[in-house]
């Protein structure tokens, strides 16, 4: 993470290993061809048979090239001063249900009341007005919006409510279709923008509605105005809430009111951290680790996402030395990258067991706001060869399920409310997955190549 030469060497090593993995697949395919219609042979016989005539299929030459490349990469490590051996990290069996559902939000009651007051006030001359919740990544804008959206007073004040997750790509057709589907509670097939806007206009005309546009990034005034047209037909008092990290975005959206969301105070930060780091009944452990814990909380700088992630990392870790290592890590001093990768998230990833690192990095290929289906993701991990065959009696699916539960228990995946097998990932966590995947990551998302 701190040495560019080592990072480049590691990329080259990965590339060489991937070539070797591809060759193994070719060998397995060749072996299946030879076994067609024959009795299964012993493994030793298979290897001898393959070695005797590999050259005829070209695999022998490929094998030689892969071995030469691997040997070359291994020699380079001596120049870089790297040595063999890794620190053993025993995968921790964290409780798989303790952090599945969000239960307990600290320090946001005052913010909730203030936003609701702004929301219900009648400001501006137009029937539909916009308010913005602005704050840095990980500060809790989405959580506050959810509190407001589900508040009883808010529910009674608006005839229609809709929640649309925006993220990086501001696709007018897609977002209009999503809003229409949310308001009408029925699936909408893809149609042209004109038809979508006409349907939305007919649905909203004369009705007081609330629309939340979460994680809003658009800075193009013309695109925003084109998107807004059907929403102007709502009844007076209709509101659109946008959450964003950028004050300029709030300006482009012509927000009548802006609510800057601040970081948590010291007491609230400590309460949130302890909820995720300690078992509520283990008072002896809590008192022994409190002094170090408060130093770690100070490092998290009042960001709820950082507090939850580091608290989850330390859960069931009762050794003072481990907590000291986390508190004193150089990673805290890393400047955030262009995607605002929080040091706390990077630190959490650093202490994953190797298999979990691979499974987490694989999540980089999914777009932001994707819904992760537990069974489907586990099968994809297995298909990509990321799940190691266990030495015990467990199946690959069971090992994959443990990896999935580990991501949940570390607060990197969160259950979608009331949906047993569906989970979501915070945008900053998705950025972390793309960052650690590095050159191994490629996607075509909304027409833009990453």
How would you write the pLDDT of the chain (450 residues) with one tens digit per residue? Answer: 667 788 888 888 888 988 898 888 888 888 888 877 555 555 555 555 555 555 556 788 888 999 999 999 888 887 888 876 544 433 333 222 222 234 457 778 889 999 999 888 876 668 899 999 988 778 888 889 988 998 889 999 999 999 988 876 678 888 898 899 889 877 766 578 888 899 999 999 999 999 999 888 787 888 899 999 999 999 999 999 999 887 888 888 888 888 998 888 999 898 888 888 886 656 666 777 888 889 889 888 888 888 888 888 887 777 788 888 888 888 787 766 555 677 878 878 887 888 899 999 999 888 887 888 999 999 999 998 888 888 888 899 999 998 998 888 777 888 876 666 788 888 888 888 988 887 777 776 655 555
pLDDT 10s digits, 335-366: 665 556 778 788 788 878 888 999 999 998 88
Domain shared by 67 and 149, yes or no? no
Nearest to 339, CA basis, from 446, 248, 437, 447: 437
For the stretch 117-136, pLDDT in tens is 988 887 666 889 999 998 87
> Does residue 377 lie within any of the structural domains?
yes
Burial (Cβ within 10 Å: 0-12, 13-18, ≥19) of residue 196: buried
CATH number of the domain that residue 340 is part of: 1.10.8
Do 336 and 369 share a structural domain? Answer: no
Q: Which of 142, 148, 88, 82 is nearest to 120 (CA)?
A: 148
In a domain, 365, yes or no: yes
Kindly report the pTM of this predicted structure: 0.63
Maximum distance among all alpha carbons in the chain? 85
Residues 347 and 361 in one domain: no
Contact by Cβ (8 Å): 108, 150: no
Out of 238, 260, 282, pick the residue that ends a domain.
260
Q: Same structural domain for residues 274 and 412? A: no
Residue 95 lies in a domain: no
Q: What is the pLDDT of residue 98?
A: 22
442: left (phi over 0), alpha (psi -120 to 50) or beta: beta
> Do 28 and 168 belong together in one domain?
no
The answer to whether residues 118 and 215 belong to one domain is yes
> Could you give the number of structural domains in the chain?
4
Say yes or no: 159 and 294 in one domain.
no
Phi-psi region at 446: left, alpha or beta (left = phi > 0; alpha = psi -120 to 50): left
Give the H/E segment covering residue 362.
Answer: helix 354-362
């Amino acid at each position: 993470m701190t040495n560019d030469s080592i990072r480049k060497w590691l990329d080259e090593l990965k590339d060489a290993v991937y070539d070797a993995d591809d060759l193994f697949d070719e060998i397995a395919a060749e072996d299946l061809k030879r076994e067609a219609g024959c009795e299964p042979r012993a493994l030793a016989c298979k290897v001898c048979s393959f070695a005797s005539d590999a050259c005829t299929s070209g695999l022998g030459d490929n094998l030689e090239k892969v071995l030469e490349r691997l040997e070359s990469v291994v020699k380079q490590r001596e120049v870089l001063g790297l040595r063999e051996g890794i620190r053993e990290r025993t995968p921790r069996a964290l409780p798989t249900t303790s952090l599945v559902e969000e239960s307990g939000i600290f320090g946001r009651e005052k913010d909730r009341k203030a936003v609701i007051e702004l929301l219900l006030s009648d400001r501006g001359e137009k029937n539909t007005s916009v308010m913005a919740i602005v704050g840095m990544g990980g500060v809790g804008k989405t959580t506050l919006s959810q509190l407001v959206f589900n508040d009883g007073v808010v529910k009674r004040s608006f005839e229609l409510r809709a929640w649309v997750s925006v993220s990086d790509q501001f696709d007018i057709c897609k977002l209009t279709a999503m809003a229409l589907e949310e308001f009408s509670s029925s699936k909408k097939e893809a149609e042209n923008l004109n038809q979508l806007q006409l349907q939305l206009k007919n649905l909203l005309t004369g009705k007081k509605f609330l629309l939340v546009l979460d994680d809003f990034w658009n800075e193009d005034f013309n695109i925003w105005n084109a998107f807004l047209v059907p929403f102007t037909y709502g009844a007076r008092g209709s509101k659109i809430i946008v959450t964003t990290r950028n004050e300029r975005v709030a300006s482009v959206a012509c927000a009548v009111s802006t609510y800057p969301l601040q970081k948590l105070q010291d007491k609230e930060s400590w309460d949130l951290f302890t909820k995720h780091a300690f078992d509520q009944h283990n008072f002896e452990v809590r008192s022994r680790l409190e002094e170090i814990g408060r130093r770690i909380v100070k490092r998290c700088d009042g960001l709820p996402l950082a507090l939850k992630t580091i608290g989850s990392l330390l859960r069931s870790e009762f050794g003072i030395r481990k907590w000291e290592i986390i508190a004193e890590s150089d990673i805290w001093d890393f400047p955030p990258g262009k995607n605002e990768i929080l040091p706390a998230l990077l630190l959490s990833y650093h202490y994953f067991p190797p298999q979990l690192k691979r499974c987490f990095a694989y999540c980089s290929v999914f777009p932001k706001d994707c819904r992760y289906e537990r069974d489907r993701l586990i099968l994809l991990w297995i298909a990509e060869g990321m799940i190691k065959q266990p030495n015990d009696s467990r199946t690959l699916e069971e090992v994959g399920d443990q990896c999935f539960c580990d991501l949940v228990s570390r607060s990197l995946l969160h259950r979608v409310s009331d949906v047993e097998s569906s989970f979501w990932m915070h945008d900053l966590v998705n950025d972390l997955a793309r960052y650690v995947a590095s050159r191994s990551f490629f996607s075509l998302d909304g027409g833009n190549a990453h």
